[in-house]
């Protein structure tokens, strides 16, 4: 059993703060890490069929070592699981096991499993605690932290959900070793985002070290995941329910979600890939509006392309008016105005609610022509 050291970072929320543990071999130590927060000697594990094969045996051993029972619910893998049908199936499966108010759920998987399990936890018996055990890079640095839960409907992504903070986040770096390169890259896009929002030094570090991180360098992965977790923890603590600064975490997402919706949330484009394209477009829009230097937009696009992330619009999302319509349905619309995260340069993001649709249209038309 690996007894490697791990780092913890605190998310400070009034009365509901929690730790993010980052390191190797955390699943093998799960019993030891969970014991202090469990109110009964069992935890309800929710995962998907793919993750179950790779990660569940390690977690099961770690729980069994501390005599923690772990009823398992396995959902299908993929974004299509984030819907009402699977939420109902999950809740019924959990209720079959007779949970109590003191029961704890554990989400073992990527963003989809984390989102639907967190939502189920917030609804089950009017709210039980849950633990995030994110198994993808994207979930470890972004969706697994901060308490956003949700499912998708025909109207768009994550339009039904709650804020429900986890009690603990277990970011086991060993789980990244089985990730396909494309999934790693999708998560890497969210790491780049933290540099672009307010940490130009981190972006410069990524320009040098990003390829090593993706290739599997343990030290680079550990550093980037920890630095991203600290950034997310700081922002969530300042603005849990996205009334202000937390909205900066949506850099690239207004464009990205519209592109995903245009493609029907299919396997053609992963969320992180859409965010990479969206961040490129957000910097293009910032240049178009005279806010950011063109050299910075070029740097963003160059780095994303260099590691293998897409920066141009996919074939199925090249209808400008449709993209504009989809953006207008975004959760972040206020008084009918689309909120954009723009930048005055790398590491200088800010919120803009007064962007003229014609400026967005011009940027999208340029992107079509590129």
Residue 331 is among the residues annotated as catalytic for this protein: no
DSSP one-letter string for 160-216: E--B---SEEEEEGGGGGGS-HHHHHHHHHHHHHHHHHH-HHHHHHHHHHHHHHHHT
Of the candidates 253, 299, 301, 303, the residue annotated as catalytic is 253
Is 232 one of the annotated active-site residues of the chain? Answer: yes
Specify whether 348 is catalytic.
no
Q: List the one residue out of 360, 321, 322, 310 whose CA is nearest residue 340.
A: 360
Q: Can 148 be counted among the known catalytic residues?
A: yes
Direct distance between the N- and C-terminal alpha carbons of the chain, in angstroms, rounded to an integer: 52
Given the residues 79, 190, 240, 273, the one annotated as active site: 190
DSSP 324: H
Helix (H) or strand (E) holding 36: none
Angle, helices 218-238/181-198, rounded to nearest 10 degrees: 50
Q: What is the dihedral of CA 129, 164, 148, 182, to 10 degrees?
A: 0
Residue 257 is a catalytic residue: yes
Of 9, 157, 193, 250, catalytic: 250
CA distance 211 to 175: 19
Exactly one of 126, 154, 155, 334 is catalytic; name it.
126
Examine the residue annotation and report whether 181 is marked as an active-site residue of this protein.
Answer: no
Work out the burial of residue 151: count CB atoms within 10 Å of its CB; fewer than 13 is exposed, 13-18 middle, 19 or more buried: buried
Q: Give the active site residue among 167, 257, 301, 303.
A: 257
Residues 6+ apart with CB under 8 A from 202: 194, 195, 227, 231
CA–CA distance, 231 with 235 (Å, rounded to integer): 6
Residue in 58, 148, 301, 332 annotated catalytic: 148
Q: Is 86 a catalytic residue?
A: no
Give the ranges where the chain is alpha helix by DSSP (H). Answer: 30-34, 49-64, 84-96, 111-123, 137-138, 181-198, 200-215, 218-238, 253-262, 271-288, 294-307, 320-327, 357-369
Confirm whether 126 is a catalytic residue: yes
Segment (H or E) for 18: strand 18-23
Q: Which of 193, 271, 299, 332 is catalytic?
A: 271
Task: Find the catalytic residue in 221, 232, 301, 332.
Answer: 232
Could you give the residue numbers annotated as active site? 126, 148, 190, 232, 242, 246, 250, 253, 257, 271
């Amino acid at each position: 059993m690996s007894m490697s050291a791990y780092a913890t970072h605190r998310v400070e929320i009034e009365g509901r703060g929690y730790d993010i543990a980052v390191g190797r071999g955390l699943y093998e130590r799960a019993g030891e890490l969970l014991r202090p927060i469990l109110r009964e000697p069992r935890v309800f594990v929710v995962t998907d069929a793919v993750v179950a094969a790779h990660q569940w045996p390690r977690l099961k051993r770690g729980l069994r070592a501390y005599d923690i029972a772990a009823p398992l619910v396995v959902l299908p893998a993929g974004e299509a699981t984030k819907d009402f049908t699977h939420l109902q199936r999950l809740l019924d499966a959990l209720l079959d096991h007779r949970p109590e108010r003191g029961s704890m759920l554990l989400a073992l998987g990527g963003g989809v499993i984390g989102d639907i399990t967190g939502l189920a936890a917030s609804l089950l018996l009017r709210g039980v605690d849950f633990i995030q055990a994110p198994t993808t890079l994207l979930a470890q640095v972004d969706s697994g932290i901060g308490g956003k839960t949700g499912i998708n409907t025909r109207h768009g992504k994550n339009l039904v959900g709650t804020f429900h903070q986890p009690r603990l986040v277990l970011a086991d770096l060993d789980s990244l070793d089985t990730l396909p390169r494309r999934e790693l890259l999708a998560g890497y896009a969210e790491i780049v985002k933290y540099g672009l929002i307010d940490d130009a030094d981190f972006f410069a570090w990524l320009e040098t070290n990003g390829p090593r991180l993706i290739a599997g360098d343990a030290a680079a992965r550990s550093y980037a995941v920890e630095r991203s977790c600290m950034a997310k923890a700081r922002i969530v603590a300042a603005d849990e329910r996205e009334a202000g600064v937390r909205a900066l975490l949506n850099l690239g997402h207004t464009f990205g979600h519209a592109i995903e919706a245009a493609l029907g949330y299919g396997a053609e484009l992963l969320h992180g890939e859409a965010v990479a394209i969206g961040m490129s477009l957000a910097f293009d829009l910032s240049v178009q509006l005279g806010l950011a230097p063109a050299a910075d937009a070029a740097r963003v696009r160059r780095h994303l392309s260099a590691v293998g992330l897409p920066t141009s619009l996919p074939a199925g999302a090249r209808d400008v008016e449709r993209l504009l319509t989809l953006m207008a349905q975004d959760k972040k619309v206020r008084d009918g105005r689309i909120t954009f995260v723009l930048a005055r340069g790398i590491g200088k993001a800010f919120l803009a609610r007064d962007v003229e649709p014609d400026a967005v249209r011009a940027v999208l038309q340029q992107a079509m022509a590129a």
